[in-house]
Structure 1
Amino acid sequence: MSSKYKFVIEYEIHASVKMIYPYLSTASGLAEWFAEEVKTLEDKTFDIVWDGQSHPAKLVSARTNSHIKYVFSPLNAEDSEDPSYLEFKLSHSEMTDTTFLKIIDYSEMNNEKDLRELWDNLIYNLRELLGAGHE
């Protein structure tokens, strides 16, 4: 059994869910902040490239302006029973007029510090694109 790690983190982003969602749900949007390159393949599958390596991921569920989930193609038989996935959940607080982006990163990467640093940098890039400033 492979040992996967579920990393969950939430960020406050000063932009509307309608502004943020395309950056989470389209190949062109993801390519701007999340990966070196993202291509759309057939059947709701994206080819996500990091460090020159291809990582196919299938869009398995999505609700516009609310959530999106990608399941990565298994690397081996063991992985197919417990595939890595990435989920983005958007929520908006009417009271504070703030949008929260919750990220669930389920993968073999299990170093909490490295994951936090990775996502902090990625969200920094996303905020730059959105012109959403930094806390």
Structure 2
Amino acid sequence: MMRSTKTKFIAEYPINASSRLLYPYLSTASGLAEWFCDDVKVEANKIYNFIWDGRSHFAEMTGFRTNRSVRFLFLDENRQHVSDPSYIDFSIESSELTQEQFLKVIDYSEEEDQEELAELWEHLMQNLREIVGG
């Protein structure tokens, strides 16, 4: 069996919105569906179903700090844990110096093309900035 290697993509995006305003867009199904994917459904067992191009991707919110950060750990199509899972980590950070807000994204996935990932996230961030006015 071939073991897939995963890539960790890390980027910070300046965003002109308070963490209180931003956080629901990172942590709730309705918020995420507005900018991150086509749709998000939360199932009874708190499993998030992210839908892109009609395909389901199941994830669990494994860590969160209100108005600060959230992590989604991806599961297999049977909603089971896998070894070395993909995950997405969002954290809202601010610069003490400039009072600027940043959204830090860590995308750990099988997508090896860093340039493609950078373009994808740039596009997603534009969506998000338009919504939050940042």
The alignment's TM-score, normalised by the length of structure 1, stands at 0.91
| Runs (5+) with no aligned partner, structure 2 | none
Residue matched to 2:7? 5
How far apart, in 1, do the equivalents of 2:46 and 2:62 lie? 8
Map Cα deviations across residues 47-104 of structure 1 (whole Å, 9 max, x no partner).
Answer: 000111000110000000111000011359xx81111100001112243221111100
Aligned with residue 67 of structure 1, among 66, 69, 78: 69
How far apart, in 2, do the equivalents of 1:97 and 1:12 lie? 11
Residue matched to 2:122? 120
How far apart, in 2, do the equivalents of 1:104 and 1:31 lie? 19
- The Cα of 1:110 is off from its aligned counterpart by 1.0
RMSD: 1.4
Counterparts of 1:1-135 in structure 2 under 5 Å? 1-74=3-76, 80-132=82-134
Identity percentage over the alignment? 48
Contact 1:59 1:71 in 2 (8 A): yes
Matching residue's letter, 2:55:
Q
How far apart, in 2, do the equivalents of 1:94 and 1:15 lie? 15
How far apart, in 1, do the equivalents of 2:39 and 2:112 lie? 24
More deviation, 42-51/105-114:
42-51
- Runs of 4+ with deviation above 3 angstroms: none
How far apart, in 2, do the equivalents of 1:48 and 1:74 lie? 12
Task: State the secondary structure of the residue aligned to 1:86.
Answer: strand
Contact 1:15 1:98 in 2 (8 A): no
Task: State the secondary structure of the residue aligned to 2:61.
Answer: strand
Contact 1:45 1:57 in 2 (8 A): yes
| Runs (5+) with no aligned partner, structure 1 | none
Contact 1:2 1:82 in 2 (8 A): no
The alignment's TM-score, normalised by the length of structure 2, stands at 0.92
